[in-house]
Chain A
């Protein structure tokens, strides 16, 4: 494929790049908006990480050291809200913005102004969330799930969290509509659905999940709001309501949300592994169908988050078996990645290290998930550190590490410079090792019965908590290296070629590095 498409000039020479305020605040360019999303995500990762370090500092030893329990609860709540809605989701939208038009050969996202609105809502929504620290009673302290009846009794910050969530929901839904329309309507001629790159497929399905469940979450928090202020009784048994109803609605959103946060990660490593194994992705179509199957199943497993709440036995059984079923399509994916690597000409550049790390560590998280799916066993594990360990293996080692790998993979395409490979590898090893020191001991803590979301604990849990806290600080400060590498790559470094890697697949590698401000004004043809 020629590079002509990227250099296409047309008659009205208004192709120049806007600068300053106009470029960054009024953008309709998918690459700039993608960059904004990625910077925002990284900033939120640091903020949420700082909250996590407060938690780990307090839990370094038993007893109360640095913060009071109420503030500790604010930290656990805000850590989760910031990481889920501020770091992981916008991070993947940033990747989608940058890469989807490049991968499908489109000139931009389908609805560029709405794209910019999706982004700019987020800093304002998170401002409201942060301001809530300074209102009477402090930030929300109910856990990110905002369970009734605790949130019915909470202070002003609960209302602020609710309106912030509404704003994030508006942003997510608009972003998801944009992704779906771009993928379905803007593909280059010849790119049939079953020729789409995996990242495009996973984001298409993720966007569907977002549109299906974000409004349900909006409904749930709206009921909270009216229960708090307008006298309704959705979650109040005295009026015939049921707090468990909140949990059902929340997790009907919450479980697909889990896949919203992991499917794009699957997409990213499905690009990286074939590139560095120098083999096409094994079982492309089974990958697509596995993704769709996971998305379907995500709608019928929600109550496994609430096994101990008191459900009818049939319900417990149904949700147990449905949950276990998810391991089938997920297993298909893991085996496909492993088989892609099988007898490949493997090299281990930083993106590949992160991807192999994801496959290994995510699978560990998947296996602990299988343990949690077993209803009678879950009665023991529920709300313990075992759950905390489980979802950090899938969310940090799955979603966040895949984003880090994706950053190293496409950073040369974005900036035009190669990153420092030695430092990148160092970052990987620091992250992977510190991550395991932080979270592996939490499995043992949970199995021994240490409950989550407490500022204090029984002294028998001390050793593993010390390990976990030491690991957490190493993990947190290792990320400063990540920021340093990104900044130095943006500023300079070895020039990257258009292909960057050894014969990678995909339209994004046919445009120069850095990708020009406008690409594919005239669509390329895919054979």
Chain B
């Protein structure tokens, strides 16, 4: 059914997207499990799954965009609530990794150091790659041979790339807010320019983050395998980077839609949802900067 009167809640007509997306998800998941276990069909399955999922999500979101003039304020509120709770679920996902960081650093490492029989001579400290992990070199770069062997590693200076990245992301939140205010005042051109700037800042962040990973692996000898420090460092910053990628993509789509003349000063849920998401990844970054890089 589709009740089109504005005082009624919009209930969409039946749709093949959910069922088809489930099949695509099945291919991605099973293909992923196969890929990790060297089953030859894995990469193909996963590739097909991602491609089909991409097409379907494009069509699905496309039909939502087409229907959107028929949404009344109740539907708009449903979307807002839905997005807020989705972001809450993301917060809890990151909480698991921050919790792991806290536990490993404050509890697991000290307890390990207490077990003299198992790990004689292991001192509790942070960062740590664990009793048999690589050795931390605090001043200067470790020598290249030791890095290659994985026996030594050093840390990334939080006051260089990470600090620039912090400033980039914080600035991007400001530019995004300026764009939002411009959109609300129907100053479309200014809104487009400030949003484009936000996307550019996000992309620069990602480029610098990639650079940091390369430096970490090649010069600092800091890898995912560098014990719990490497594990927590790369998992937290990696998942954050993935979320920035997603957030930048959302904002890019919003930007393209804005250039096509979508949205009005009053009604622009997609913009706001993307903005909330962007501020969320920003806040996570501030947490990372403090707890992963500085402390």
Binding site for B on A (CB under 8 A): 10, 12, 14-15, 18, 22-23, 25-29, 106-108, 110-114, 116-117, 119-121, 123-125, 127-128, 131, 156, 159-160, 162-164, 166-167, 170, 173, 176-178, 180-181, 184-186, 211-216, 218-220, 222-223, 225-226, 228-234, 236-242, 244-245, 248-249, 252, 518, 521-522
**B256 contacts partner chain A, Cβ-Cβ < 8 Å:** no
Is B227's CB under 8 angstroms from A240's CB? yes
Number of contact residues on B: which range applies?
35 or more
Closest chain-B Cβ to A257's Cβ sits at a distance in Å of: 13
Closest chain-B Cβ to A192's Cβ sits at a distance in Å of: 17
Closest chain-A Cβ to B16's Cβ sits at a distance in Å of: 5
| Docked CA distance A178–B12 (Å) | 15
Is B23's CB under 8 angstroms from A113's CB? no
Q: Which of A26, A121, A229 contacts B36 (CB 8 A)?
A: A229
Is B103's CB under 8 angstroms from A245's CB? yes
Which residues from A are CB-within-8-Å of B37? 156, 159
**B230 contacts partner chain A, Cβ-Cβ < 8 Å:** yes
Instruction: Given A173-B86, A238-B133, output 18 extra A-B contacts at Cβ < 8 Å.
Output: A28-B14, A108-B9, A113-B15, A119-B18, A163-B33, A164-B29, A167-B26, A176-B85, A215-B90, A220-B96, A230-B224, A234-B228, A237-B118, A237-B130, A240-B108, A240-B129, A241-B231, A242-B112
> B59-95 interface mask toward A, CB cutoff 8 Å, 1 = contact, 0 = none?
0100000000000001001100110011011101101
**B235 contacts partner chain A, Cβ-Cβ < 8 Å:** yes
Closest chain-B Cβ to A83's Cβ sits at a distance in Å of: 21
Is A26's CB under 8 angstroms from B104's CB? no
Closest chain-A Cβ to B222's Cβ sits at a distance in Å of: 12
Give 24 A-B contacts (CB < 8 Å), ordered by A residue.
A10-B5, A14-B1, A18-B14, A26-B15, A26-B18, A26-B19, A28-B14, A110-B78, A113-B18, A114-B82, A120-B21, A125-B29, A159-B36, A167-B25, A167-B29, A176-B85, A211-B88, A223-B97, A231-B223, A231-B225, A239-B130, A239-B228, A242-B111, A252-B99
**B128 contacts partner chain A, Cβ-Cβ < 8 Å:** yes
Which residues from B are CB-within-8-Å of A212? 88-89, 92
Which residues from A are CB-within-8-Å of B14? 18, 22-23, 26-29
Which residues from A are CB-within-8-Å of B131? 237-238, 240
Is B78's CB under 8 angstroms from A181's CB? yes
Which residues from B are CB-within-8-Å of A178? 82
Report if A184-B25 is in contact (Cβ < 8 Å); known contacts: A108-B9, A239-B231, A240-B108.
Answer: no
Report if A242-B103 is in contact (Cβ < 8 Å); known contacts: A28-B13, A166-B29, A173-B89.
Answer: yes
**B164 contacts partner chain A, Cβ-Cβ < 8 Å:** no
Is B81's CB under 8 angstroms from A128's CB? no
Closest chain-A Cβ to B224's Cβ sits at a distance in Å of: 5
Is B225's CB under 8 angstroms from A233's CB? yes
Q: Which of A116, A177, A240, A245 contacts B85 (CB 8 A)?
A: A177
Q: Which of B3, B96, B112 contacts A237 (CB 8 A)?
A: B112
Which residues from B are CB-within-8-Å of A163? 29-30, 32-33
**B229 contacts partner chain A, Cβ-Cβ < 8 Å:** yes
Is B130's CB under 8 angstroms from A211's CB? no
Report if A240-B109 is in contact (Cβ < 8 Å); known contacts: A184-B81, A216-B95.
Answer: yes
Which residues from A are CB-within-8-Å of B148? none
Is A124's CB under 8 angstroms from B25's CB? yes
Is A214's CB under 8 angstroms from B89's CB? yes
Is A248's CB under 8 angstroms from B96's CB? no
> B1-45 interface mask toward A, CB cutoff 8 Å, 1 = contact, 0 = none?
111110011011111111101110110011011001101000000
| Docked CA distance A181–B9 (Å) | 13
Which residues from B are CB-within-8-Å of A232? 224-225, 230-231, 234-235
